[in-house]
Amino acid sequence: MRKKILITGATGYIGEHLTRLLISNGFHVNALVRNPSALTESEQLSVFPYQFGHSPNVSAFNAVYAVVHLAANTETEINENQEILAARQLLEAAKHNGVKCFIYLSSQSATVDAQTVYGLNKWKIEQAILNAQGLIIRPGLVYGGAESKGLFATLCRVARKSPVLPGFRPALRVQPIHIQELCAAILTILSRSRYDTNVFNIASNERIDISYFIQQIAWSYYRRHLFVIPIPVFLLTIFSRLLSTISIRGFDPERINGLLNLKKMSTIESLNDLELVPCRVSQGLGFNKVKYRDLVNEGHALLSYVSDRKAANHRCLRLYVRAIESLNDGKVLDINYIYLAYPCLLRLVDPHLPIINLGENIQAELKTRIEIVISILEVDPSQQELFRLERPKNLFSTMFSLSLDIAREIVLVPAMIINFLKSIVNR
């Protein structure tokens, strides 16, 4: 018999992914949602209407093994206390129907001294859940998947529309977790019968600059290069205070305050317990990209670096994609997007004479791909002039060409010196 899992907010950003994952793993899902018509019932999915401020449908709890409470206040007209009341109503219904496990998706902002109403409410709900022997999951900044839901949707809009990006100093740092990894962690928790802890902190233990995070979104999803303009954090603080006194559609001062007051969350213990290793942001965003498009962009950058932009024709790109798909299972090279956006920077990491060391594995893979590109150019009739030795037309053109080559290398001298000094220190 399938285990029944009740999910509130099943049509939300996280709920949508979790519902699909549980169904694919043989669970039956009872979905409590604001708009039941958004879901189609099936053999493994039952749908029930649910609104904050109203008692949940008791029949939705029949034979339920666990409740995963994801629904959150996303409407300003909902009283803040209603979210706390809703959690208590769900707890009461779960207890009355013999539900064995109650999981609440909280927030990294949930602390007793939270500086925002959002964070304080999350903490109050946590206390009610813990008093009832329930489980708490505190995720970091959840990203990936659909670009139209959650905080991730807001960041995607910034990455898609903003001409530049503010780089706050000191940096505002976040701890990301991919939505698929978060849902996998919830699945692992649901599959257990005993728990060593009631609180799980699920996110990368390393914090990254949110400006860098948005840059990665811009490149991975929209192939945009956002330039960062340094801005002191105190200006953001002033802006947040102004927003709290006036109403501007699309701007939520609570979110800004939450980001300004976000503290580092220790996640190592929970990650080890769940045997979860969060991927790098560049890899996580790659879960949703079209593989062929990414390999084409990668091939374009390498072809441009080895020869010039004229060499990156359709035939060469197609040959490159086929070569990588057959030899490397179509995996995209795991290097910073900036090298692909500006191919001339590949000179810094060229494995034949590297100035910046990317690591042994990546360096070896990059060398292989550059050699593949050279082979493609050699067999392409339209690129034969690249390998033909020609007598220089005159002394002036020869000297000019040599000067350009020398100038390119001179620019790299400071980086070479820094890299050399680092290698000495490391020894």
Domain of residue 305: give its range: 290-388
How do strand 4-8 and strand 28-33 relate by DSSP bridges?
parallel
Is 314 domain-assigned?
yes
Is 275 domain-assigned?
no
Q: How confident is the model at residue 231 (pLDDT cuts 50, 70, 90)?
A: confident
Domain count, the chain: 1
Identify the sign of the CA torsion 4, 176, 168, 341.
Answer: negative
Residue 75 reports pLDDT greater than 70: no
Is 294 domain-assigned?
yes
Beta strands in 56-198 (DSSP E): 64-69, 101-105, 135-139, 141-143, 164-169, 173-174, 176-178
Residue 297 reports pLDDT greater than 60: yes
Range with the poorest average pLDDT among 25-29, 80-84, 269-273: 80-84
Whole-number pLDDT of residue 360: 84
Whole-number pLDDT of residue 83: 87
Residue among 97, 236, 113, 222 nearest 168 (CA): 236
For residue 95, give the H/E element and its range.
Answer: helix 80-96
Residue among 50, 199, 223 nearest 129 (CA): 199
Is 342 domain-assigned?
yes
Please provide the DSSP assignment of 145-183 as one string.
S-TTSHHHHHHHHHHHH-SEEEEEESPPEE-EEEHHHHH
Residue 364 reports pLDDT greater than 50: yes
Q: How far apart are CA 277 and CA 287, in angstroms?
A: 15
In degrees, to the nearest 5, what angle opens at C-alpha 207 toward C-alphas 210 and 298? 65
Answering whether pTM is above 0.75, one says no
Please provide the DSSP assignment of 264-316 as one string.
P---HHHHHHHT--PPPHHHHHGGGS-HHHHHHHHHHHHHHHHS-GGG--HHH
Q: How confident is the model at residue 288 (pLDDT cuts 50, 70, 90)?
A: very low
Six-digit token string for 16: 């949508």
Residue 427 reports pLDDT greater than 70: no
Percent of the chain with pLDDT strictly greater than 70:
80
Whole-number pLDDT of residue 391: 57
> Does residue 220 or residue 302 have the better pLDDT?
302
Is 266 domain-assigned?
no
* Segment 166-223, tens digit of pLDDT: 888 888 899 999 999 999 999 999 998 888 899 999 999 999 999 999 999 998 888 7
Whole-number pLDDT of residue 185: 95
For residue 258, give the H/E element and its range.
Answer: helix 253-260
Whole-number pLDDT of residue 86: 92
Residue 35 reports pLDDT greater than 70: yes
Q: How confident is the model at residue 247 (pLDDT cuts 50, 70, 90)?
A: low
* Segment 152-166, tens digit of pLDDT: 888 998 998 998 998
Q: 170: cis peptide before it, omega within 30°?
A: yes
Is 237 domain-assigned?
no
Is 332 domain-assigned?
yes
Residue 383 reports pLDDT greater than 90: no
Mean pLDDT of 221-245: 78
Is 114 domain-assigned?
no
Mean pLDDT of the chain: 83
* Segment 80-110, tens digit of pLDDT: 688 899 999 999 999 999 999 999 999 998 9
Residue count of the chain, please give it: 427
Whole-number pLDDT of residue 73: 72
Residue 63 reports pLDDT greater than 80: yes
